[in-house]
Amino acid sequence: MFMKSTESSELKPQLDRLTFLHELGKLLAVTGDSQDVLRTMMEKANDFFRPRRLSLLVLDEESQTLCPEIVLGPQAEEPRPRLPLGEGVAGWVAERGEPLLVEDIRNDPRFRASPVAQETGIRSVLGVPVRGREAVLGVIELADGLTEDGLSEEEVLTLVVVADYVAAALEGTRHTKRMLELTLRDDCTGLYNARHLDQMLEAEIHRSSRFGHEFSIIFMDLDHFKGVNDAYGHVVGSKVLGTIGELVKSQLRLIDSPFRYGGDEFVLLLPQTSRENALVLVRRLQEALNAWVFVTGDGRNIRMTASYGVASFPADSSTAQALLRAADQAMYRIKSTSRDGIALAGGESGAP
C-alpha cells in the first residue's frame, strides 16, 4: 500500500529531520580527528537549517569568554572577538544554560548593542547551550534562517538535539587532548617528560631562528638524592620529587616549560630568555630550593640542594642535542666539585 502524495509531502520534513539526526549520530562513532567530526556536524546542521550564519562558540573557563570555534556563512573567515560571558545572545545562553530565540535583535533592549545586532541583514538569532555532563561547554548560535516564517518549535527542538550531539563530540575532543597530555607528562612530578623535551626544543630552535630570539635552558640535578631513597625508601623519594616538581613550576613564568629528564634530573626551557636573565631565574630557583623543607610522615625533615648548568641559543649551540649537552656538561662541572652551584656553558661560573 502506497501513501498518497499529500501524505508523503507532509511527512517529508519529518523524514528529512530524522535522516539528518541519524547522520549526526553516526558521526559520533567515527574514529579519527574529533575536530573534523565537530566541523562536519556543523556543516550538516548548516545544510539542514540554511541560516544566514551558524556558529559554534566554545567556553574558555579560565577567561570566562566564548571563543568562535566554527563559523559558517557569509564572511565566516573574518576574525571575530571573544564574547564575555553574559554578553549578547550567546553570552546570555552560556551564562543561564537555557535556549533563547530573539525574533528581532535590533529592537530587543537586551541585545541591540551587541556585535550581532550591528551586522547587516541579521534580525532573528537563536542560541542553544551545548551542555556537557557537568557544565555548559559552549553555544550554538543560528542567525536568520532563510525562510520568512522564522523557526518552528520543531526546528528549535531539533537544534537542541544537535547541541547534544555537538556536546558529545566536544567532550570527545577534550578527552583526546587530555589523553595526549598524559602521554607527554611524567607520572611522578606532573612535569613534561624527556620525549616531549626533544619535540619542544626542536620547535623552540625553529621559532627562535625564524624571529631572531635568544632562549636558554637550565639542566638541574638534585644533589645526593640517592641518599633520600636509601634512608627513607622510594615512596618517600617519589613524594619528594613530586613536591620539588611543584616548587620548580612555582618559580617559572607562564611561557617556560619544565621537564623531568630522568631520575633526579630536570630541564627547564626558557623561551626569549638571554643568558643573563636565565641566571636571574636559576638563582631564584636555587634560593627557593635551599629554603625548602620536606617533612616525612614521622616528622623528619628532608632538605635538598641541586647543581645547575645554563646554556643559551644561539651563543652556546644552534642544535638541540648540542645545546642540551652544553647545559649538562656545565651542570656536571658543579656536580663534580662543590655541588649546590651554577655554571654556564663555556666554563664560566654562575655565582653572583
Instruction: Grade residue 347 by pLDDT with cuts at 50, 70 and 90.
Output: confident
Question: What's the one-letter identity of residue 221?
Answer: D
pLDDT tens across 225-262, in order? 999 999 999 999 999 999 999 999 999 988 899 999 98
The cell numbers describing 72, all together, are: 559558517
The CATH architecture of the domain made up of 194-344 is: 2-Layer Sandwich (3.30)
Instruction: Round to whole Å and give the CA distance between 253 and 72.
Output: 37
The cell numbers describing 321, all together, are: 642535542
Instruction: Round to whole Å and give the CA distance between 50 and 142.
Output: 9
Tell whether the model's pLDDT for residue 96 goes beyond 60: yes
> Per-domain residue ranges for the chain?
5-183, 194-344
Instruction: Round to whole Å and give the CA distance between 175 and 88.
Output: 29
The cell numbers describing 93, all together, are: 545562553
- For the entire predicted model, the pTM comes to 0.55
Instruction: Grade residue 81 by pLDDT with cuts at 50, 70 and 90.
Output: confident
Question: What's the one-letter identity of residue 110?
Answer: R
pLDDT at 2: 46
Q: Supply the Cα-derived Rg of the chain in whole angstroms.
A: 28
The backbone region for 17, taken as left when phi is positive above 0, alpha when psi lies in -120 to 50, beta otherwise, is alpha
What dotted CATH number matches 5-183? 3.30.450.40
Q: Do the bridges between strand 100-102 and strand 65-72 make them parallel or antiparallel, or are there none, so unpaired?
A: unpaired
Q: What is the mean pLDDT of residues 86-110?
A: 91
The cell numbers describing 215, all together, are: 632562549
Instruction: Grade residue 349 by pLDDT with cuts at 50, 70 and 90.
Output: low
Tell whether the model's pLDDT for residue 76 goes beyond 60: yes
Instruction: Grade residue 1 by pLDDT with cuts at 50, 70 and 90.
Output: very low
pLDDT at 224: 94
Compute the mean pLDDT over every residue in the chain, rounded to the nearest whole number.
Answer: 87
Q: Do the bridges between strand 257-262 and strand 100-102 make them parallel or antiparallel, or are there none, so unpaired?
A: unpaired
CB contact at 8 A, 119 and 97:
no
| Percent of the chain whose pLDDT exceeds 70 | 89
Instruction: Round to whole Å and give the CA distance between 243 and 13.
Output: 61
Question: What's the one-letter identity of residue 113?
Answer: A
Instruction: Round to whole Å and give the CA distance between 109 and 89.
Output: 12
